[in-house]
Amino acid sequence: MKIIVIGSKGILGSAVAKALGAHGHEVVGASRTGDVKVDLEDRASVERLFASVKDIDAVISCAGEAAFKPLLALTDADYDLCIRSKMMGQVWLARIAVDHVKDGGSITLTTGILAQKPMPGGAAISLINSGLEGFVRAAALEMPRGLRVNAVSPPWIKETMVKLGMDPGPGLSADDCAKAYVAAVLGKHQGTILDATALAAGA
């Protein structure tokens, strides 16, 4: 399959690209600073991506920015970033991808554990992750041409926890999390929020 991975240089995206490559798929990595450029906040750049990369079987987003901050420190700009980048960036990606991905192909977005398990600092991210999950479940009911749309909900990733100075013990490695993205592309899921922790444990 020919698969676009947006955010392919990031912690999750690089693991996803590696896992798909190991399964023999052709991965086209894209991001704001990658060789193939796209900015989820810029609809025209998403259109340009699909105009330049043809015959796509699947699109995966491991991208989108969000603000993790105490509730009382969150600013209007923080909420705006979350909504504009991670939430509407991925919604627009899905809306545009529907016109370009091959019949029977798939679109996989990224939400996150904070939709199900809130924690201090996560209010803005819980908001958009929950919104994305609602979008995926409903959009799946109206996918044309046999297309599928799903989202992976990663837990805290060990590599990220190390970067943030947190104990990585309870986290999941990016490689283990990547298994959920591979399952979303290769499986038959439709409108599913894939629990990366459960899938990595073999559920």
Q: Would you say 16 and 41 are in contact if contact means Cβ atoms under 8 Å apart?
A: no
Closer by beta carbon to ligand NAP, 145 or else 199? 199
**Token pair belonging to 45:** 């750049």
Tell me how far, at minimum, the Cβ of 90 lies from ligand NAP, in Å: 8
In whole angstroms, give the CA distance from residue 166 to residue 158: 9
Q: Would you say 143 and 149 are in contact if contact means Cβ atoms under 8 Å apart?
A: yes
Closer by beta carbon to ligand NAP, 24 or else 120? 120
Q: What three-state secondary structure class fits 90?
A: helix
Tell me how far, at minimum, the Cβ of 186 lies from ligand NAP, in Å: 20
The single residue listed with the structure tokens 């909420």 is 79
Q: Which residues fall within 8 angstroms of residue 93, CB to CB, at 6 or more apart?
A: 6, 40, 46, 59, 61, 107, 109
Closer by beta carbon to ligand NAP, 135 or else 156? 156
Closer by beta carbon to ligand NAP, 119 or else 146? 119
Tell me how far, at minimum, the Cβ of 145 lies from ligand NAP, in Å: 25
Nearest residue to ligand NAP on Cβ basis = 10
Tell me how far, at minimum, the Cβ of 9 lies from ligand NAP, in Å: 4
**Token pair belonging to 186:** 């290769």
Instruction: Give the interface with ligand NAP as residue ranges (CB under 6 A).
Output: 6-7, 9-13, 31-34, 38-41, 62-66, 85-86, 89, 110, 112-113, 154, 156-157, 160
